[in-house]
Chain A
Amino acid sequence: KAGVTQTPRYLIKTRGQQVTLSCSPISGHRSVSWYQQTPGQGLQFLFEYFSETQRNKGNFPGRFSGRQFSNSRSEMNVSTLELGDSALYLCASSLVFGQGETQYFGPGTRLLVL
Chain B
Amino acid sequence: AQSVTQLDSQVPVFEEAPVELRCNYSSSVSVYLFWYVQYPNQGLQLLLKYLSGSTLVKGINGFEAEFNKSQTSFHLRKPSVHISDTAEYFCAVLSYNNNDMRFGAGTRLTVKP
Contact = CB atoms under 8 A, between A and B. Distances in A.
B87 interface: no
Contacts of A106: 43
21 contacts: A4-B43, A33-B101, A35-B103, A42-B106, A43-B90, A56-B100, A90-B43, A90-B44, A92-B43, A97-B99, A98-B99, A100-B32, A102-B46, A102-B49, A103-B46, A105-B36, A105-B44, A106-B43, A107-B42, A108-B42, A108-B43
Contact of B103 (A42, A97, A100, A108): A42
Interface size class of B (residues with CB under 8 A): 20 to 34
Interface size class of A (residues with CB under 8 A): 20 to 34
A98 B94 contact: yes
Given A45-B102, A102-B46, A107-B41, 19 more contacts: A42-B103, A42-B106, A43-B90, A43-B103, A43-B106, A45-B100, A56-B100, A90-B43, A92-B43, A92-B44, A97-B99, A100-B49, A100-B51, A104-B46, A105-B36, A105-B43, A105-B45, A107-B42, A107-B43
Contacts of A98: 94, 99
A48 interface: yes
Interface of A: 4, 33, 35, 42-45, 48, 55-56, 90, 92, 97-98, 100, 102-108
